[in-house]
Structure 1
Amino acid sequence: MKTKLNILLGVLLTILLVSCKSNNKKQKETSTPTETQENTSRQGQAFIKGDVAKPNVLQIAMGSKDHTTLVAAVQAAGLENALVNAGPLMVFAPTNEAFASLPEGTVENLLKPENKAKLALILKHHVTPGNYSKEFLKKFKHLGQASNQNVTVEVKGDDVYVGGAKIIASIPAGNGIVHVVDKVIIPEN
């Protein structure tokens, strides 16, 4: 009886293994060349789909109609993966309106491939390690940015200004917080 049971179990395991290998082979055969090309050109944590966790700072920006210029700049600078790190990160996210108030042609010029390093520096100047609320930021005089430069924190009544940019909204993220600001914070060269 025991021998028949072992033989039956062996046959079932063999069938299971063969069917699993067959399914894997079918899945590999069904991937399209476009999918393969897309997977090799856009790799990293920022491009993983299907995460049900709280949105990270990049996902929040990408989901905002008011931050399309910021998202385009992040993509042009190749900083997507940096913004999905575990953090915590504070991102001071200028609105489209803030970018539009820069001198004419500035954004277009920064988005050119030859200005990638300069664009990356400006964007890093909008990121601070930490996860502090607007209220808690009132305790600071300066913040050290990912650009290796400091920005001044000023309190005017109930308003908080970071690097001269006023925080107009704050959105908690899975890896920190997004503080929406009304101005692009330009680093000192």
Structure 2
Amino acid sequence: MKIINVLKVLPLIVLFVFSACKNEEKQDSPVNEPAVAATQTGQAFIEDDNSTPNVLQIAMSSPDHTTLVAAVQAASLENVLVNAGPLMVFAPTNAAFDALPAGTVEELLKPENKQQLAAILKHHVTAGNYEKNFIKKFKKLGQADDTNVTVEVKGEDVYVGGAKIIASIKAGNGIVHVVDKVILPKSN
């Protein structure tokens, strides 16, 4: 019954919002407007001081994840990481990227390797919002790149795709599990 009442009121709210937007005055001078690069469009770049940070905002605010953020930006995956989710992101630290063979990160960040980089990054994302202790119940997880990673439990430690979860941070659209290795997809 309440849903029907909400559905009756919703069109009125939408109409009110649109009519309010039409009545705002436009400024001729863009002096107070920040310059935004053409690539910085979409929900990833909406700022909100009241909501719990999403997985991308958590990574962007971490000094230990600058390489991951650069990779996400090079692969143009910002808007993917801010969707409603829930998402579990296994976020390799800068040290994890540094442990890759010399030149690997630089090569992947090149525009011509955008698809390969995106596939590797999607291999670090799982649908869901599971705490580390709940992940222990799984043998494998399905990743956003349509592959699976194994889950191993060694004492109190949890490894996903061979990467140890070293910290977990709740996000507005899921959870960020900080990991000590880059989880590379297995080649066929």
User: Structure 1, residues 133-159: CA drift from partner, whole Å, max 9, x if none?
Assistant: 000000000000001000000000000
Report deviation, 1:51. 4.3
User: Counterpart of 1:31?
Assistant: 30
Residue 184 (1) aligns with residue 173 (2) = no
% identical equivalent positions: 72
Where structure 2 has 5 or more consecutive residues not aligned to the other structure, the ranges are 1-21
Q: 1:71 — aligned with what? A: 69
What are the equivalent positions in structure 2 for 1:47-62 lying under 5 Å apart? 47-62=45-60
Q: TM-score, normalised by structure 1?
A: 0.83
Tell me which residue corresponds to 2:123.
125
When the two chains are superposed, the root-mean-square deviation of aligned CA atoms in Å is 1.8
**What is the count of residue pairs matched by the alignment?**
166
- Higher helix proportion: 1
Letter paired with 1:167: I
Structure 1 segments, 4+ long, off by >3 Å, are: none
Aligned equivalent of 2:94, options 83, 93, 96: 96
TM-score of the aligned structures, taking structure 2 as reference length: 0.84
Unmatched 5+ stretches in structure 1 = 1-19
Give 3-state SS (helix, strand or coil) of 2:151's partner: strand
Give the letter for the 1:62 counterpart.
Answer: M
Q: How far apart are 1:41 and its partner, in Å?
A: 3.2
SS at structure 1 position matched to 2:176 = strand
Superimposed CA distance per residue, residues 100-156 of structure 1 (whole angstroms, 9 cap, x where no aligned partner) = 000000000000000000000000000000000000000000000001000000000
Aligned position for 2:17:
none
